[in-house]
Structure 1
Amino acid sequence: MLIFATRPLSFISSCHFPLQQFCNNTITSMDSSKLFSTMAADHSSSREPLKVESNGEAAISLQEWRGWGTTSTVPSMVTQVVEDLNMLEKNVDAQMVFGGNHGKLSGDFKVQEDKKHRAKYQSLGDSEQKLQFFSARQIACRVLGSKGYLCQKCWLCSGDCMCSKLITCPLWNPMRFWLYMHPKDFLRQNNTGKLLWQVFGVQGATLCLYGITEHEDMMWDALKLAGKDKVWCLYPNKNAPTNSVKDSMAGLSFANVENHPEMADGAHSLNFILIDGTWSNSGAMFSRLKDRYKLMWGEEEIPCITLNTGASLMHKLRPQPSWDRTCTAAAAIGLLDELHDLPNFVSYGLDKQVNALEDAVKVLFETLTIRRLRMGRSITRKQRHNRDIF
């Protein structure tokens, strides 16, 4: 999640309505008997341990891996973690079992695996190896633990799949989003970054997992091809000057790209990096981006853009440290919205992409709200601050 100067986004006014009124209308419009008859079953099944069984061995195929929204091959270290889990299962008298919906190991196997992974982590020689191992283990467990439980496209449990409600809209060809995602946000049901590639496609919005070598190399190879003057990070860097969308983009011309669309995926692309992680994790992620940028181009600071966006619709369900921090999808909406206001962008139909992404956020919000109501969970945002946000 990111923090920006406060200005309500257009999608907030178009989607704004009292939460209680929405909940009442939602329940009324549904078959209430069906809603409450499934509540207990859903509440129970969401916590039932998930046992991984695949002829005695867990595995992640290329088809399955790419089904989760990535374009890469299965990362080598993720494969190694899976092989280590299989080996451990053979060597101890316990089966590999995952509990909950975040791919967390449980039971006796968890106790044994926890000892082994801690020992391996301590044996690794440097911080880079430790990060890669941490990321790979998080991702491997989440993928294995989500088999047969989550829809691969929308990351919601199969009974709540919202894929049929989403409307796709190709992203303007010269643009490309990079979703730089923390492993702990991978396969989270309330993650909004996934909406970008669901709406724009994996070429318009590409997933890059933090600490996964294959993903980070893929992203930086593409950024190198585009050139440093076509790379921006949507992040409010307090230690260096940040530019507004207008300051960064108003002087750009796209006649060449429009005349030669086949060049848009290479040297003429406009690349925007969105940091998709909690606010506490985003600092380390941004530092890693800066280090790689300096290594590639020899400059201390990666160009950053700050947006005039405020709280998103998802604030009503997702606890945030303050109301002026926003979700990943809302940051993308804010960028597209501000670009559309610029004379050199107005003819490219970015308003259509804004509307499509706004609708996707609304669908996710409604789906998660209905799920929480059905499970008897609170739909009130937790208050984590006592001061007023203006």
Structure 2
Amino acid sequence: MPAQVAEIVEEMVDLERQSDAHMKFGGLGGKLKGDLRTQEEKKHRAKYKTLDDSEQKLRFFSARQIACRLLGSRGYLCQKCWLPHEDCMCSRIVPCNLWDKIQFWLYMHPKDFLRQNNTGKLLWQVFGINAAKLCLFGITEHEEIMWNAFMHSGRNNVWCLYPNKNTSTKSVEESFGGPHQTDAGETFNFILIDGTWSNSAAMCRRLKERAELMWGDDLPCISLATGASAMHKLRPQPSWDRTCTAGAVIGLLDELHLVSRFNSLGLDKQAQVVENSVDVLLASLTNRRVRMGRSITRRQRNHNDFC
């Protein structure tokens, strides 16, 4: 557990002990509820005011979000699939070996950590924790591990999947279709920004600023020709040209498979295994909603986006 997260967890457990009241979490975002909430928020605001700059405040915000989610999930969520224990889908996920020259980095916003309908978690369930590494936004230890790996690989072997109008992007064919000599030790690092679209801009900006410091250059970005994934039925994206994290990986692997120097690696089959895992997650979430008497569809946030 990251040091600052562990510190906040211990402080909250101490507060619970001193108050002789049990911590309760619930509602949107799994926030702390009850009598302890007022005490904890007062302590949080006081600590926040003592922080000197925006970087310290970001780190504290991220650590507190993660600490609350960890405490709120105790005895409730499966720590692998992030679903309630009675809905655990782990036994239905089929693992698969990813081509060993690909390394995925799940750059996840704290608000998506332990979120039941998050699809990024499927990548390490399918490919394993060494092929798909979790890096939590604003957590120093995680970010340093990721950037040390990038420094070792070199700028030419790092790409971010981020189809933003304000960011210079290339297609998979433009990035990989030209003449290229693959070195025996070369690893292709792909950063997957795993967060809501409203949070992704800040996450991308942080990546680009760090790339500028490290290499004096922008972070290469890739856009995909993929559309909405199966999860769109339950968790719609802002528009049909955007997809979930697992959907982006499916699109990337499928498009890489079409590049001649990669088409013998079985990347299309690896994409299919991820797609199957998305179907498993969708079925698990749908069954839970039906059992709880909740709607299995979401209202369209902007009708024009879906027409």
Q: TM-score w.r.t. structure 1 length? A: 0.76
Cα separation, 1, equivalents of 2:163 and 2:183: 31
- Identify the residue that residue 278 of structure 1 maps to in structure 2: 196
- Identify the residue that residue 337 of structure 1 maps to in structure 2: 254
Counterpart pick for 1:155 among 78, 82, 87: 82
Residue identity matched to 1:175: I
User: What are the within-5 Å matches in structure 2 for residues 69-84 of structure 1?
Assistant: 74-84=1-11
Cα separation, 1, equivalents of 2:122 and 2:150: 22
CA spacing shift, 1:240–1:104, aligned 2, 3 Å: closer
Cα separation, 2, equivalents of 1:384 and 1:302: 31
SS in 2 for 1:310: coil
C-alpha offsets along residues 8-61 of structure 1, whole Å, 9 cap, x if unaligned? xxxxxxxxxxxxxxxxxxxxxxxxxxxxxxxxxxxxxxxxxxxxxxxxxxxxxx
SS in 2 for 1:180: strand
- Identify the residue that residue 111 of structure 2 maps to in structure 1: 184
Structure 1 residue 233 and structure 2 residue 151: aligned?
no
SS in 2 for 1:326: coil
Counterpart contact for 1:231–1:272, Cα < 8 Å: yes
C-alpha offsets along residues 226-246 of structure 1, whole Å, 9 cap, x if unaligned? 000000000124234311000
Counterpart pick for 1:144 among 67, 71, 77: 71
- Identify the residue that residue 214 of structure 2 maps to in structure 1: 296
- Identify the residue that residue 233 of structure 2 maps to in structure 1: 316
Counterpart pick for 1:354 among 248, 256, 271: 271
Structure 1 residue ranges (4+ consecutive) displaced by more than 4 angstroms after TM superposition: 100-103, 252-255
Counterpart pick for 1:85 among 2, 9, 12: 12
Q: Which runs of 5+ in 1 are unaligned?
A: 1-73, 258-262
Q: 118-127 or 83-92, which moves further after superposition?
A: 83-92
Counterpart contact for 2:238–2:305, Cα < 8 Å: no
SS in 1 for 2:169: coil
Counterpart contact for 1:315–1:381, Cα < 8 Å: no
- Identify the residue that residue 97 of structure 1 maps to in structure 2: 24
User: What are the within-5 Å matches in structure 2 for residues 181-260 of structure 1?
Assistant: 181-251=108-178, 253=180, 256-257=183-184
- Identify the residue that residue 299 of structure 2 maps to in structure 1: 382
- Identify the residue that residue 30 of structure 1 maps to in structure 2: none
- Identify the residue that residue 174 of structure 1 maps to in structure 2: 101
- Identify the residue that residue 286 of structure 2 maps to in structure 1: 369
Cα separation, 2, equivalents of 1:100 and 1:252: 53
Residue identity matched to 2:191: I
CA spacing shift, 1:175–1:252, aligned 2, 3 Å: farther
Cα separation, 2, equivalents of 1:206 and 1:132: 20
User: Once the 2 structures are TM-superposed, how far is the Cα of residue 120 of structure 1 from its aligned partner?
Assistant: 1.0
User: Once the 2 structures are TM-superposed, how far is the Cα of residue 141 of structure 1 from its aligned partner?
Assistant: 1.0
Higher CA-based Rg: 1
CA spacing shift, 1:125–1:327, aligned 2, 3 Å: same
Residue identity matched to 2:223: T
Residue identity matched to 1:75: P
CA spacing shift, 1:109–1:368, aligned 2, 3 Å: same
Which has the bigger relative contact order, CA under 8 A and spacing at least 6?
1
Cα separation, 1, equivalents of 2:110 and 2:79: 16
Superposition RMSD in Å = 1.6
Q: Percent identity?
A: 64
Counterpart contact for 2:256–2:263, Cα < 8 Å: yes
Residue identity matched to 1:174: K
SS in 1 for 2:61: helix
Q: TM-score w.r.t. structure 2 length? A: 0.96
SS in 2 for 1:348: coil
- Identify the residue that residue 110 of structure 1 maps to in structure 2: 37
Counterpart contact for 1:102–1:187, Cα < 8 Å: no
Cα separation, 1, equivalents of 2:142 and 2:90: 25
- Identify the residue that residue 134 of structure 1 maps to in structure 2: 61
Cα separation, 2, equivalents of 1:377 and 1:254: 53
SS in 2 for 1:387: helix
SS in 1 for 2:134: strand
Q: 246-255 or 319-328, which moves further after superposition?
A: 246-255
User: Once the 2 structures are TM-superposed, how far is the Cα of residue 388 of structure 1 from its aligned partner?
Assistant: 5.6
Cα separation, 2, equivalents of 1:362 and 1:169: 16
Counterpart contact for 1:97–1:106, Cα < 8 Å: yes
- Identify the residue that residue 242 of structure 2 maps to in structure 1: 325
Q: Which runs of 5+ in 2 are unaligned?
A: none
CA spacing shift, 1:175–1:388, aligned 2, 3 Å: closer
